């Protein structure tokens, strides 16, 4: 699909102008779920545990709690030492264990510690805006070197940062957000995203839905913890 109308002239990757991203709609599932976390204050680990449980008891619950701990650290201007993570976990486990009757405490603890090591963003932050700023100011990933388009380089950089922020989880990026990022038409953004999937830079795990207002879910292949490929029947966004 040709770029055509609606695409602004190319700029160098580092100089690409970003417009109004503080207001961009967050497309990660955790951000859609946790809109109430914006502006929240968490001043104790017990409060962090309660807050995380109120927000999320899904398969991503430990990731949510790890981000609640990051919020606690920001609010209290402290950094929780690694040897105190188990103490933090105990607050969460005592509140959550009845929801996981078959869960093994030690297994949950190891997963929580792993999430804490990888969680970059606290609950309530604009994950996409953070990723854009990091992509703007940090070197582009090596996968971007195969392209000359500043827009595609930026898109790859943002996807890379979104994946790093999501840890081992897939990241969410909506087509409208991608279009706003690259200052192009929505159908052009679709073509670019599909192109990254075809090139093997991204794997499309789950196609988004208009009815459910859910963005497509991707993995950045080079950062995936295991070999991945686009699910059959989901080759295009």
Q: Per-domain residue ranges for the chain?
A: 13-30+125-223, 38-118
**Residue-level length of the chain:** 237
At residue 38, φ and ψ (nearest 5 deg) are -65, 130
CATH number for 13-30+125-223: choose from 1.10.3470, 1.10.10, 1.10.760, 3.30.565.
1.10.10
Mind listing the pLDDT tens digit for each residue in 168-194?
888 889 899 999 999 999 999 999 999
Closest Cα to residue 141, out of 156, 120, 162? 156
Give pTM, 2 decimals.
0.56
Q: Contact, 23 vs 161, CB < 8 A?
A: no
User: Which residue positions in the chain have pLDDT lower than 70?
Assistant: 1-40, 209-213, 225-237
- Give the pLDDT score at 141: 95
- CA of residue 147 relative to chain centroid, distance: 24
Query: What DSSP character marks residue 193?
Result: H
């Amino acid at each position: 699909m040709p770029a055509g109308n609606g695409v602004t002239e190319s700029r160098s990757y580092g100089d690409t102008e970003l417009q109004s991203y503080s207001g961009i709609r967050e497309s990660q599932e955790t951000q859609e779920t946790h809109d109430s976390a914006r502006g929240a204050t968490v001043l104790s680990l017990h409060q962090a545990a309660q807050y995380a449980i109120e927000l999320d008891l899904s398969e991503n619950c430990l990731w949510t709690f790890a981000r609640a701990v990051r919020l606690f650290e920001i609010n209290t201007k402290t950094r929780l030492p690694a040897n105190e993570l188990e103490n933090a976990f105990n607050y969460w486990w005592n509140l959550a264990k009845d929801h996981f009757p078959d869960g093994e405490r030690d297994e949950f603890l190891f997963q929580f510690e792993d999430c804490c090591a990888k969680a970059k963003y606290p609950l309530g932050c604009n994950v996409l805006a953070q990723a854009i700023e990091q992509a703007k100011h940090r070197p582009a990933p090596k996968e971007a070197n195969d392209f000359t388009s500043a827009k595609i380089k930026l898109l790859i950089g943002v996807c890379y940062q979104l994946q790093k922020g999501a840890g081992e989880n897939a990241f969410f990026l909506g087509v409208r957000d991608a279009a706003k990022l690259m200052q192009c038409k929505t159908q052009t953004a679709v073509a670019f995203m599909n192109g990254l999937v075809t090139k093997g830079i991204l794997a499309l795990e789950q196609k988004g839905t208009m009815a459910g207002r859910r963005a497509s879910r991707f993995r950045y292949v080079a950062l995936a913890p295991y070999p991945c490929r686009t699910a059959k029947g989901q080759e295009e966004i």
